Amino acid sequence: MSTVDHDDKTDQPEQGEQLDLRLLWLLLIPGILVAAILVHVITSDRDESAPSTATSDLVVDVPQQVGRCAVPTAEQLAQQATAVRATVIATRDDAVELRVTSVLAGPQIGLITVSLPAGGQTTADTSLPAFQPNHSYLLAISADDKLAGCGLSGASDTGLEDLYKKAFG
CATH entry, 56-168, from 3.40.30.10, 2.40.50.120, 2.60.120.260, 3.30.450.20: 2.40.50.120
Closest CA to 150 of 169, 125, 167: 125
Cα–Cα distance list, 153 to 48, 91, 115 (Å): 30, 17, 15
CA–CA gap between residue 126 and residue 147 (Å, rounded): 12
pLDDT level of residue 129 (50, 70, 90 thresholds): confident
CB 111 within 8 A of CB 100: yes
Note the pTM of the prediction, 2 decimals: 0.64
Between 38 and 9, residue with greater pLDDT: 38
Burial zone of 153 (CB within 10 Å; 0-12 exposed, 13-18 middle, 19+ buried):
buried
Determine the average pLDDT of the residues in 147-161.
87
Cα atoms in the Cβ-side hemisphere of radius 13 Å centred on 55:
14
- CA torsion, ordered 35, 41, 46, 50, to nearest 10 deg: -150
Of residues 107 and 51, which shows the higher confidence score? 107
Q: Give the separation between CA 59 and CA 144, rounded to whole angstroms.
A: 11
Q: Are 146 and 90 in contact (CB under 8 A)?
A: no
C-alpha distances (whole Å) from 82 to each of 45, 107, 167 are 24, 7, 12
Domain ranges of the chain: 2-49, 56-168
